[in-house]
């Protein structure tokens, strides 16, 4: 089914697991501010403690190794490694260096994301991703980390899900910093992608042996409507969700129809040379996929979500639709002649998991993972170059605006005691990998 070097790994993000938000020189991030604002996060939860990974990382490395996975995807907390003047925080950097070295010693490949949403608050105070200068500050951060950690990282990703950072952070207000302007969302998107292009230069300069790319979230849009307007609505959904990011990366342009039909007054603030930087060749493209969205035409030439009845859903309320992953991968393969090798960098589901008699039997998640891996296999057989798959997530954690209620992990976390319990899904992953390596 898979090529011999097909990677199977697990993934996490710094703010969701580390805790220790005010220790060893770490500065506040936009998520510290946002989650401390009443009404922004379910139950008033914050990432102040999370999974206490900052203090328990050695045990967590042993946990990862015990699962037999071949790779671990993590992110660096920008506020932990630099001060407000851009000077390195040696204690914060040492945390990541020690973590990466320990993973290397276990034979686990490392996939490091530079930005998984935790912008230093002092940069947001200066305009955040609305401000072009933030892209240059991001490049300085990428330069520092790729010099400090060169040789310890197999895969560098500049950004995780710039769509979420731009749209949910600046367009809908669902995520930090909680702003609500489509114009600002387009400013943020452009500056995120500009930061990606600038950071890519630093990564190539400082750590040439590593693979460099970006991680994007993609969405499958379909319609149960029967009009041409409904079908166009589904196209516009995917254009806004996918092409808004992929076209500048792979076609050196933003999709014109997006601004002609949806966002007439929200054109990105492009300067000469920006798009050439953004469209620099990638060694890989990370794809995060979770669900399908059903839409119909609205009265303004756009679309509105119309949830389907009678479909399987996760604890998040998201439809389980593995065919959407296959269809998107095959579609990208046909649309982008320069599509780089792909890693599925996040795929998984939230369940209302409980420990019963010392075990967590998460049958829905097991079925979810099996069906999505089968969808990836179908895409590979259709010619798509997919080289790995990372389960989201290694362990239950702070699920952004949903706090600690939604559990995505293949390892259960009791947040009161920080006890980790390997779920049945993780046991099956371990057994599968042992079998693949020819061990009993």
Query: Would you state the structure tokens that stand for residue 438, as one six-digit string?
Result: 């020819």
Task: Report the distance separating Cα 332 and Cα 216, nearest Å.
Answer: 13
Q: Could you count the other beta carbons within 10 Å of the beta carbon of residue 355?
A: 13
CA distance 311 to 322: 12
C-alpha angle 55/60/62, rounded to 5°? 130
Residue 178 near residue 169, CB atoms below 8 Å: yes
Please state, in angstroms and rounded to a whole number, the distance separating the CA atoms of residues 240 and 84.
34
Catalytic residue among 18, 124, 184, 346: 346
Q: 109-115 and 419-422: which strand pairing?
A: unpaired
Structure tokens given for 96: 């990541």
Q: DSSP letter string over 152-218?
A: S-SEEEEEE-HHIIIIIIIIS-SSTT----HHHHHHHHHHHHHHHHHHHHHHHHH-TTSEEEEEEEE
Q: Count of CB atoms within 10 A of residue 300's CB? A: 9
Beta-carbon contacts of 363 under 8 Å, excluding residues fewer than 6 positions away, are 424
Query: How far are the Cα atoms of 85, 183, 281, 290, 341 from residue 385, in angstroms, in the given order?
Result: 42, 35, 16, 20, 5
Closest CA to 6 of 279, 310, 380, 268: 380
What is the rounded distance in angstroms from the CA atom of residue 437 to the CA atom of residue 440? 9
Collapsing DSSP to helix, strand or coil, 185 comes out as helix
Cα separation, 258 vs 95, whole angstroms: 43
| Collapsed DSSP state (helix, strand, coil) of residue 214 | strand
Nearest to 24 by CA among 55, 51, 47: 55
Helix, strand and coil in the chain, % to nearest 5: 45, 20, 40
Q: Confirm whether 346 is a catalytic residue.
A: yes
Q: Per the omega criterion (within 30 degrees of 0), is the bond before 393 cis?
A: yes
Which of the residues are catalytic? Answer: 346
């Amino acid at each position: 089914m898979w090529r011999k070097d097909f990677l199977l790994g697990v993934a996490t993000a710094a703010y969701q697991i580390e805790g220790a938000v005010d220790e060893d020189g770490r500065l506040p991030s936009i998520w510290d501010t946002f989650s401390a604002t009443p009404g922004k996060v379910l139950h008033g939860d914050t990432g102040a403690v999370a999974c206490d990974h900052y203090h328990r990382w050695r045990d967590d490395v042993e946990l990862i190794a015990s699962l037999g996975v071949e790779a671990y995807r993590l992110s660096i907390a920008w506020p932990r490694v630099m001060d407000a003047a851009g000077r390195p925080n040696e204690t914060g950097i040492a945390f990541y260096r020690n973590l990466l070295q320990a993973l290397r010693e276990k034979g686990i490949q490392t996939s490091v994301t530079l930005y998984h949403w935790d912008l230093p608050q002092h940069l947001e105070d200066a305009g955040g991703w609305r401000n072009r200068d933030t892209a240059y500050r991001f490049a300085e951060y990428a330069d520092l980390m790729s010099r400090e950690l060169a040789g310890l990282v197999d895969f560098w990703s500049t950004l995780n899900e710039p769509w979420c950072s731009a749209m949910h952070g600046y367009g809908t207000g669902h995520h930090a910093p909680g702003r609500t302007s489509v114009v600002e969302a387009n400013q943020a998107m452009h500056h995120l992608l500009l930061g990606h292009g600038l950071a890519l230069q630093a990564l190539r300069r400082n750590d040439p042996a590593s693979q460099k790319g970006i991680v994007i979230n993609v969405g499958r849009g379909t319609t149960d409507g029967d009009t041409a307007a409904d079908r166009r609505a589904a196209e516009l959904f995917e254009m806004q969700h996918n092409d808004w990011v992929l076209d500048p990366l792979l076609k050196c342009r933003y999709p014109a129809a997006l601004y002609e039909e949806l966002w007439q007054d929200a054109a990105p603030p492009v300067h000469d040379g920006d798009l050439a930087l953004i469209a620099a060749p990638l060694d890989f493209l990370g794809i995060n996929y979770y669900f399908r969205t059903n839409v119909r035409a609205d009265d303004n030439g756009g679309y509105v979500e119309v949830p389907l009845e009678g479909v399987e859903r996760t604890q998040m309320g998201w439809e389980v639709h593995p065919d959407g992953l296959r269809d998107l991968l095959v579609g990208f393969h046909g649309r982008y002649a320069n599509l780089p090798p792909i890693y599925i960098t996040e795929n998984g589901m939230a369940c209302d998991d409980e420990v019963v008699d010392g075990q967590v039997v998460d049958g829905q998640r097991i079925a979810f993972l099996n069906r999505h891996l089968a969808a990836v296999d179908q895409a590979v057989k259709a010619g798509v170059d997919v080289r790995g798959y990372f389960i989201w997530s290694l362990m239950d954690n702070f699920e952004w605006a949903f706090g600690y209620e939604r559990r995505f992990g293949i390892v259960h976390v009791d947040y009161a005691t920080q006890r980790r319990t390997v779920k049945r899904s993780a046991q099956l992953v371990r057994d599968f990998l042992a079998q693949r390596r020819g061990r009993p």
